[in-house]
Chains A and B, each alone.
Chain A
């Protein structure tokens, strides 16, 4: 079925949003494979965003863990995370479609900053919806967005976090579809967003697969990425899905880890449901009300997940495991000390999987998507360490 990955996906939106989604779908068909579009995007990715990002072997961590650890360095992309791969693509598409404005949701603020930067670069206006709770706890990113010329609109409804920012962005889009594109931040939402975002993020594995082959002569034994909505992970997985010898691991956030705690692990502990336009795995109560999520990594703090991940879990191609807040925090400190790289707490979940499973994967090669840099998390890291009786 159109817009589905196996059983999951679809387009569950008000009829009033069907025309702009169809318009976007038609624009994808026209532009994504057009030479002029592709070459302009490639130019932006190389000369503005800083691609290709390096593939870094980690000697000290590898010795310590008894595995061969390699990192795909999306933390070195302009604005500090993989998000810009997608926003540059969507901004360019919006420009080609004759739209004047980009609308976006943001949780931790990384997608908001990446949207604001892409909009500034391509001469578009940006309006960013952000939960009021997130506005308060991610102040530096709010200031970055404003400095980049974007309008930040705090959302005071519901849980006042990412989930409600998305609701408000959809409401806004209904009324402003004529001159505005919704620049969706993750590989989720109504068709065609999951495919559009995966298309632009797939550059991560396109590069990483070539780099790994050229540096080691082989494919990695394991490819690992953290999964919130799932955009860095789908970008990291896409070009390895056909390589049967590569084990692919998605890491969901288990939150504080005690039984019944809030988490961000819909694939492991949720069941299928419809939120934000898609049928996918979802954290919900018996009556189908969406449950609050939690993770120390703001970018993973979301009760749903992209439909392609739900499908890859159902088919068994990708294994989805759990990592707690504490394990992620330890992994963040581990990489900082051993390699001189401060990873984002999101990416730290993927690293923590390697640390936790090192005995099981001894001497094997592992490729981790380091989706973002950890500077944005310093306040959270410091606070979490103090709670555990530690200091920076």
Chain B
């Protein structure tokens, strides 16, 4: 099996001694056209991987910044169709690795109606498996390498892993301060790939000062359980937060969503936002 695109990006950066920068931006935010401009600017200013948010009406793992941006994104027509159509025209000019991040329902509904017709019935889980196969095919065609699904724990992930594996795509595990070593090992064993999204705090997305003290332990357990690069997320605003960690415990990547959204919403430029992360 060939190595995952996402793993390769992060491994190469690690060898080069630098952090992998992973911005998160909801599709069609801040606007239908501006989104693609911002994406290109992020790529031009050092983003290695970009997590494109698939907006959902009920974002239960998100704090106020991302929830509000998702609401705007939905109003702007942000959807899987919008993402796939846009990428069909622009993927060649976007060097970073791409990941979709979103909640379960929009993903399983992508192609649900057709799958339900094809299967002549309402055996919900069979229809879901067919929808996911359709989603994985579209992701592969659009050059998207992986999925992050915050409301999909290990116990429900089998049909997702099966569909993504068909196209060599990654389902990225999310683990946090209350995920014990045994559970992390179970995620690793079930075939979660790409990188590991380590949630810094027992909470929702959002801008926070510093880093909670338990981060060190979470990173240590994740390092022990997975043979994958680690990306730290939730609450990151500046690279200084990572410098507070002993160098051997630092993650390979940093995810920043809320801080970027806040910066863009207040009229800031991508270049200014990315500058500290390039230092």
User: A residues within 8 Å of B by Cβ?
Assistant: 2-3, 7-8, 10-19, 157-158, 163-164, 167, 170-171, 174-175, 177, 271-277, 279, 282, 284, 286-290, 314
Contacts and interface: CB of A to CB of B under 8 A. Distances in A.
A7 B153 contact: no
B89 interface: no
Given A8-B124, A14-B60, A171-B60, A287 B106 contact: yes
Contacts of A17: 153
Contacts of B183: 15, 18
B154 A175 contact: no
Contacts of A2: 155
B179 interface: yes
B151 A274 contact: yes
Contacts of B179: 15-16, 18-19
Nearest to A272: B124
26 contacts: A7-B125, A12-B104, A12-B152, A15-B173, A15-B176, A16-B179, A158-B58, A167-B60, A171-B203, A174-B61, A175-B204, A271-B116, A272-B128, A273-B105, A274-B103, A274-B104, A277-B151, A279-B124, A284-B109, A286-B113, A287-B106, A288-B106, A288-B108, A288-B109, A289-B56, A289-B57
Contacts, number: 128
Contact of A11 (B81, B107, B153): B153
Nearest to B151: A12
Contacts of A289: 56-57, 74, 106
Nearest to A4: B125
Interface residues of B, number: 51
Interface string B8-50: 0000000000000000000000000000000000000000000
A16 B112 contact: no
Nearest to A171: B204
B127 interface: yes
A17 to B, nearest CB: 8
Contact of A272 (B74, B110, B122): B122
Interface string B188-208: 000000000001001110000
B237 interface: no
B147 to A, nearest CB: 14
A177 B60 CA distance: 15
B79 interface: yes
B174 A274 contact: no
Contact of B58 (A13, A163, A177): A163
Contacts of B106: 287-289
A31 B79 CA distance: 45
B153 A275 contact: no
A14 B67 CA distance: 16
A381 B47 CA distance: 58
Given A14-B151, A272-B124, A286-B113, A170 B60 contact: yes
B127 A272 contact: yes
A19 B178 contact: yes
Nearest to A10: B156
Nearest to B205: A171
For the complex of A and B, list the 7 residue pairs with the smallest distance between their C-beta atoms, beginning with the closest.
A288-B109, A272-B124, A288-B106, A7-B124, A288-B105, A274-B104, A175-B203
A277 B104 CA distance: 10
A282 B105 CA distance: 10
Interface in B75-118: 79-81, 103-110, 112-113, 116
A167 B79 contact: no
Contact of A287 (B71, B109, B155, B180): B109
